[in-house]
Amino acid sequence: MSEVNYSDEFQYDDLSETDSLRLLILHPGTSGSPIQSDLIHTTLRECRCDIHGNYTALSYVWGDANDTTYIFVDGFRFAVTVNLAAALHDLRDEKRQLRLWANAVCINQTNNLQRSQQVDLMKEVYSHAQATVIYLGALVEQTESLFELMNQLDPDRTKLLEIAEDAIKDVVSRPWFTRVWVYQELVLSNVVFVQFGRLRVPWDYLCEVLLDRYRDPRE
Q: What is the pLDDT of residues 79-134, one digit of tens each?
A: 999 999 999 999 999 999 999 999 999 999 999 998 899 888 999 999 999 999 99
What pLDDT is stored for residue 142 in this prediction? Answer: 83
Average pLDDT of the chain is 88
Would you mind telling me the total number of residues written for the chain in this entry? 219
Strand partners, 195: 135, 200
CB 35 within 8 A of CB 92: yes
Mean pLDDT along residues 209-215: 76
CA 81/CA 100 separation, integer angstroms:
17
**pLDDT tens per residue across span 126-169:** 999 999 999 999 988 888 988 999 898 788 888 888 888 888 88
pLDDT value at residue 91: 97
Q: Where are the domains of the chain?
A: 5-129, 141-173+205-214
Range name among 54-63, 64-73, 84-93, 144-153 with the lowest pLDDT average:
144-153
DSSP string, 15-83: P-STTEEEEEEE----TTSPPEEEEEEEEHHHHHT-SSS--EEEE-----TTSEEEEEETTEEEEEEHH
Mean pLDDT of 7-29: 89
Q: What is the DSSP string of 77-142?
A: EEEEEHHHHHHHHHH--SS--EEEE-HHHHS-TT-HHHHHHHHHTHHHHHHHSSEEEEEEES--HH
* Per-residue pLDDT at 217 exceeds 70: no
Residue 218 binned pLDDT confidence (cut-offs 50, 70, 90) = very low
